[in-house]
Amino acid sequence: MIPAAFEYHRPKDIEAALGLLQTHGDEARVLAGGHSLIPMMKLRMAAIEHLIDLRDIAHLRDIRIEGTNIHIGAMVTQAELIGHDGLARVAPILREAALQIADPQVRYMGTVGGNVANGDPGNDMPGLMQALDAVFTLAGPDGDREVAARDFYEAAYMTAREDDEILTAIRFQVSAGGYAYEKQKRKIGDYATAAAAVVITRDGDKVASASIAMTNLSDTPVWSESAAAALIGTRCDADAIKTATDAALADIDPNEDNRGPVEFKRHVAGIIISRAIARAWSRA
């Protein structure tokens, strides 16, 4: 289908973009990669009168690595994450996850900011950012504010971002350790039936710290504090992995859809979480 008529804006800086949002209010939407919004417009599920394209705002494409501090601009594409040598060296889980998103055509256009900002429970980056304990920067009429990824998601497609705010950047700290992003999907380009991001550090032969988050297993991404706690201090053997997996499964609330019934999703989730923990430990 063809979307309804709209006015297209392409501001050169974030101040101009915010000004357009204030001027046009509920009639305006921000465009990043467009893979969520444009299909909705084509299906007439969203009637947007003013489309604000962020593509020409240069600083939203910054990637900065300062020691253990990582800064990623909201308009960085998945392909740019994959191809960035510095990120591959210090935060390889980003590349591992991005390579499992859709297909190359989508990854060349789809942005990190768009993936985390719209609250789609099927997107891969929100759960990953919770596992990394990332912080999102939101620009608004009163200046910038920061929201932790673990506090950002409120319900499906509902987030802490206000209508007059724009997500501009993501930051997090990296630490030496093991990582894994495991995902099961029906076909290339589909959302996950279940996915899990795991980050583990070790002290000798025991787990020193752990972080486990899951995708598309509830209305929001799920960061499981209890699953991580079940691993800390253990040798991450089969019993510890099972205990952590059971704790993670207790935190999810999947819905039946065309990817399968609830029982099947829970079964798949258990396998994916266990694999992710084991692989992250093997790399720690």
Instruction: Pick the more confident residue, 107 or 2.
Output: 107
Structure confidence at residue 175 (pLDDT) = 83
Pick the CATH number of 58-173 from 3.60.20.40, 1.10.533.10, 3.30.465.10, 3.20.20.140: 3.30.465.10
Could you report the per-residue pLDDT of 28-42, keeping only the tens digit for each? 999 998 878 787 778
Could you report the per-residue pLDDT of 102-148, keeping only the tens digit for each? 999 999 999 999 999 999 999 999 999 999 999 999 999 999 999 99
- List the alpha helices (DSSP H) in the chain: 14-24, 37-42, 78-83, 85-90, 92-98, 104-109, 112-117, 125-131, 149-152, 225-231, 238-250, 262-283
* Nearest Cα residue to 144 out of 256, 79, 236, 59: 59
Annotated domain spans of the chain: 7-53, 58-173, 178-283
Fold of the CATH domain 7-53: 3.30.43
Furthest-apart CA atoms within the chain: distance in Å: 62
Could you report the per-residue pLDDT of 17-29, keeping only the tens digit for each? 999 999 999 999 9
Pick the CATH number of 178-283 from 3.30.390.50, 1.20.810.10, 1.10.579.10, 3.30.565.10: 3.30.390.50
Q: Sign of the C-alpha dihedral, residues 159, 136, 121, 119? A: positive
Structure confidence at residue 39 (pLDDT) = 77
Strand partners, 194: 184
Q: What is the pTM of this model?
A: 0.95
Average pLDDT over residues 247-267: 97
Residue 1 has pLDDT above 80, yes or no: no
Three-state SS at 162: coil
Amino acid at 67: G
